[in-house]
Structure 1
Amino acid sequence: MVTSPVRIQGLDSSEFSSKNQPMNCPNVRLPWQPLTLPTTPLFGTDGIRGRAGTLLSEDLALQVGFWAGLVLQEYSAVPEPVILGQDSRNSSDMLATALAKGLTTAGLEVWHLGLCPTPGVAYLCSATSAIGGVMISASHNPPEDNGIKFFSGKGTKLSQELQKHIEAGLRGFIGQAVSKTQGQYHYRPGLVTDYAAALHRPLKGVTNLQGMKIVLDLAWGAAVRLSGQVFEQLGAQVICLHDQADGDRINVNCGSTHLEPLKAAVKEYQADLGFAFDGDADRLMAVDAHGREINGDYILYFWGQTLRAAQKLPEDLMVATVMANLGFERAWKQLGGKFLRTAVGDQHVQAKMLQTGAMLGGEQSGHIICHHYGMTGDGMLTALHIASLVRESGMTLGQLVDQSFQTYPQLLRNVRVEDRERRRGWQECEAITNAIAKGEAAMGDQGRILVRASGTEPVIRVMVEAANSQLAHHWTSELVNVVERYLAN
């Protein structure tokens, strides 16, 4: 047990003294060995994520499950079940088993869904008596990665405060503990059908997709058992790509981050439009009949217009992130709407929506949250509503895009930086900060620069947006070269 304050980049052991411990933790030896953890925080912008078998080990998952179980119980009146879901990665079974063991050791009952989209876990948290949920997935990351995401009993991402309490337990900041009771484990894949029914509920009797041909790229991931039938039940003709659960190929050259197969298939089958999900189906990207990419900015704009016309968008307010295109922001304001930006990450969007009462928000990368229908990003839900919007408009998706807004040229480059501490502390590199200042001064109001460490991948993301593509390309190359020179080696 740590006995003196230790600073872990924002996580301070002094915050968890005996005076303000989040739970009663007697000093009792736990039935496992202490973990060797990195000095940087485990929780990033979307839970814990890293290489399976190294950072994401069976031992870590076991202890994360135990401490999460204690934290969830501390903030719940009664010890109700925890929902557990997973994607198709080869490591997901191992991590789910270890997490379930940790949660039951903490005294909680576990309802294991098996293969299920992340938003399915979130929905079932809110629709049942569960006090929280856990999803095993690394979202859009490659197959060798994995992750652990937590949800509250309301279906929202678990607060940063409670994530800190879980991490404090893992690091020994709040003592050691054992539960007095042993929870039970139940395999309940049938609950996923309740989630599928909920997707249809707002559209049944209102939307008929009959006659529409839609291509779905399921990325060999969590949505393979649901997506096709969900669209077919509303009358659409569906062509599915990468539609088997495959842990070796999840997200590999497919899905929401690799749109070329979807673009080709939409044109080959002469489809009306196509949707691509990521590995856990909490976000999506679309393409029109000509194979043009339609990102989250356009999706927010279209859905926002529909809600605004129905007087379902309080104060015409939209929440997006710093990545949202300036063309989108200015077009929405020209309509008379309000526009707020947050840091990257759907948890930041969600927090701002709850704070302001906004009903619609999201990310350019395809995380879209509409509080009329759910509390978290849901790729399938969003795709259904966009298909419905296209049908009701009497226009094609391409025509809607042509009549919306002109984007500013925006380039995004990722620089791989394996060293976790160097990546998290990139702002201490004077050469990088000087290069950013130089670029911002040169572009003035003709562009903007955003450099940040990814919270989900071992990369530094460099984004440059400018009034013309020449400026964007020049300063992107300049900044990438500096980051590579000082951090990547």
Structure 2
Amino acid sequence: MVSSITRTQGGNHADSTCKSDQLEKDIAGNFGLNSIALPANPLFGTDGIRGRVGDLLSAPLALQVGFWAGVVLRNHASQPGPVILGQDSRNSSDMLAMALSAGLTAAGVEVWYLGLCPTPCVAYLTSVSDAIGGVMISASHNPPEDNGIKVFGADGAKLPPALQTEIEAGLRGNLPFTGVGHCGRHYGRSELVGDYSAALKTPLQNVVNLQGMKVVLDLAWGAAVGLAPSVFTEMGAEVICLHNTADGSRINVNCGSTHLEILQATVQQHNADLGFAFDGDADRVLAVDNSGRQVNGDYILYLWGRRLQQQQQLPDNLIVSTVMANLGFERAWRQQGGNLIRTAVGDQYVQAELLRTGGMLGGEQSGHILCRHYGITGDGLLTALHIAALVKVAGVSLSDMVNQSFQTYPQLLRNVRVMDRDRRLSWKDCEPVQQAIALAEAAMGDAGRILVRASGTEPVIRVMVEAAEAELAHHWTNELVSQVQQHLAI
């Protein structure tokens, strides 16, 4: 599988140089001195740079991000290599990808352009090739008018904060410019997506096939439309597809992992064994069982964790999740002799904790699942294949497996739109909100849990209340949302 991931013939620096004194002067002037307007707050959030196209994200910004990302990745690389570039189906993704490629090649870096592909595909190919980094153009589960830029290091992991800071320093004119001397080249390498597809199937092909299973896939008009159906079909499943063309104007709209209603109805209509809903870049997935019931990341972690635990492949019986993990999941897992560590919300924090502890399985309730036995990053397609295989091997329905696992505590999550970024990020300094949280926590005691946080990817403050009784959860959710709206959303 890795054998085809080699340098493009004719793509070496000797054949692609365009040295001149004027070139270096032009690059220095255009990228180092003529800075574009940037917000005062950091550009990189919990999942790269993300925002509304035309407001934050533009071709000039992408051009400079590409250039400075190329400079930083090249400066920290042990040897020369390409940057792998992929994108989702958003209407703005072509524009941003081409601008990024222009910036990367201006920094003297060779670009391998995959075109439409899932985010985990970029991460995987970066990790197994001689690439010095990877870039994915996507805003994940966000609406079509948003987009984002995710940067990966040479190991396929998300770029460390220190290197993100270096890129941003370059954008703000605070990184010394050392000259380039040559231009890189841009190559179309869509054939490499096949190597990622093979890597997904290989661990399972000699263990199980999915023959006899009927699976419904909701592709959300996004990055997995060409790949997921073929992978499941090649594994033997009968596949029914929803929203399975690349449509940037409808990506994530009333479909995919944020809107399961159509998938649930289709699973029941076709008497399918299970269904999977991906987000726009397919780095996360939620499942639907044969009864049409949602199976979220907590259940996926529990069921996969039990399987790995039985195979003695789960060090310290550890699962890493986030503060959003349901109390019902945590208590059931501990009853099975398991350990659970919670992190802040964001798959990068889960991954960091897995690396720190030596853990092999972790993820988020929202469907970002990381299993280090098989992948290096959250991967919706990989997760879906393994859950389908788990059901096939067990010989019982997914509904039965869920029924025998645990009962979730009623958990309500409300998003309050707060457009003022400063107010949103400083919500902890709002005394009335803090007083309301303290009152709710004292009233519920051990019977519930509260989490209020500013989203790292959207202009909202998220209010989550979990309680043993639904009435209690509803009451305190309404109280806290009211306080946030009154004091922060003005």
**Is the TM value for this pair above 0.5?**
yes
Q: Superposed, which structure 2 residues align to 1:65-104 within 5 Å?
A: 65-104=66-105
Q: What is the identity, as a one-letter code, of the residue corresponding to 1:292?
A: R
Identity of aligned residues (%): 67
Deviation at 1:187, TM superposition (A): 1.0
Determine the structure 2 residue equivalent to 1:452: 453
Cα separation, 2, equivalents of 1:174 and 1:434: 43
Q: What is the identity, as a one-letter code, of the residue corresponding to 1:426?
A: W
Determine the structure 2 residue equivalent to 1:461: 462
Determine the structure 1 residue equivalent to 2:379: 378
Q: State the Cα deviation string for residues 29-62 of structure 1 (Å, max 9, x = none).
A: 3357312111111111100100012101111111
Instruction: List, as ranges, runs of 4+ consecutive aligned residues in structure 1 with deviation greater than 3 Å.
Output: 175-178
Cα separation, 1, equivalents of 2:162 and 2:308: 33
Deviation at 1:28, TM superposition (A): 4.5
Determine the structure 1 residue equivalent to 2:257: 256
Whether the 8 Å CA contact 1:136–1:147 is kept in 2: the answer is: yes
Determine the structure 1 residue equivalent to 2:325: 324
Q: State the Cα deviation string for residues 142-199 of structure 1 (Å, max 9, x = none).
A: 0000000111111111111111111111122224454222111101111111111111
Cα separation, 2, equivalents of 1:112 and 1:178: 25
Name whichever of 223-232 and 152-161 sits farther off.
Answer: 152-161
Structure 1 length-normalised TM: 0.93
Cα separation, 1, equivalents of 2:329 and 2:212: 31
Cα separation, 2, equivalents of 1:227 and 1:175: 44
Where does structure 2 lack aligned partners over 5 or more consecutive residues?
A: 1-26
Q: Superposed, which structure 2 residues align to 1:192-211 within 5 Å?
A: 192-211=193-212
Cα separation, 2, equivalents of 1:87 and 1:381: 18
Deviation at 1:443, TM superposition (A): 0.9
Deviation at 1:281, TM superposition (A): 0.2
Determine the structure 2 residue equivalent to 1:35: 36
Determine the structure 2 residue equivalent to 1:17: none
Q: State the Cα deviation string for residues 464-484 of structure 1 (Å, max 9, x = none).
A: 011111111011111111111
Deviation at 1:90, TM superposition (A): 0.3
Q: Superposed, which structure 2 residues align to 1:32-431 within 5 Å?
A: 33-431=34-432
Determine the structure 1 residue equivalent to 2:9: none
Cα separation, 2, equivalents of 1:95 and 1:234: 34
Cα separation, 1, equivalents of 2:326 and 2:445: 17
Whether the 8 Å CA contact 1:451–1:463 is kept in 2: the answer is: yes
Deviation at 1:432, TM superposition (A): 1.2
Cα separation, 2, equivalents of 1:282 and 1:224: 13
Deviation at 1:205, TM superposition (A): 2.0
Determine the structure 1 residue equivalent to 2:23: none
Cα separation, 2, equivalents of 1:175 and 1:447: 52
Determine the structure 2 residue equivalent to 1:473: 474
CA-atom RMSD in angstroms: 1.3
Q: State the Cα deviation string for residues 328-373 of structure 1 (Å, max 9, x = none).
A: 1111111111111100000000000011100000000000000111
SS of 2:298 mapped into structure 1:
helix
The answer as to 2:440 corresponding to 1:442 is: no
Q: What is the identity, as a one-letter code, of the residue corresponding to 1:90?
A: N
Cα separation, 1, equivalents of 2:163 and 2:317: 32
Q: State the Cα deviation string for residues 213-255 of structure 1 (Å, max 9, x = none).
A: 0000000000000111100111110000000000000000000
SS of 1:84 mapped into structure 2:
strand
Cα separation, 2, equivalents of 1:160 and 1:184: 28
SS of 2:84 mapped into structure 1:
strand
Deviation at 1:121, TM superposition (A): 0.4
Where does structure 1 lack aligned partners over 5 or more consecutive residues?
A: 1-26
Determine the structure 2 residue equivalent to 1:19: none
Deviation at 1:399, TM superposition (A): 0.3
Cα separation, 1, equivalents of 2:29 and 2:151: 26
Cα separation, 2, equivalents of 1:46 and 1:113: 20
Deviation at 1:423, TM superposition (A): 1.3
Cα separation, 2, equivalents of 1:74 and 1:425: 35
Determine the structure 1 residue equivalent to 2:15: none
Deviation at 1:79, TM superposition (A): 2.0
Q: What is the identity, as a one-letter code, of the residue corresponding to 2:44?
A: F
Whether the 8 Å CA contact 1:29–1:176 is kept in 2: the answer is: no
**Cα gap change, 1:177 to 1:422, in 2 (>3 Å):** farther
Deviation at 1:102, TM superposition (A): 0.7
Cα separation, 2, equivalents of 1:474 and 1:180: 64
Structure 2 length-normalised TM: 0.93
Determine the structure 2 residue equivalent to 1:16: none
Q: What is the identity, as a one-letter code, of the residue corresponding to 1:194?
A: D
Cα separation, 2, equivalents of 1:334 and 1:162: 41
SS of 1:451 mapped into structure 2:
strand
Determine the structure 1 residue equivalent to 2:6: none
Q: Which protein has the bigger helix share?
A: 2
SS of 2:442 mapped into structure 1:
helix
Q: What is the identity, as a one-letter code, of the residue corresponding to 2:99?
A: A
Determine the structure 1 residue equivalent to 2:7: none
Determine the structure 1 residue equivalent to 2:17: none
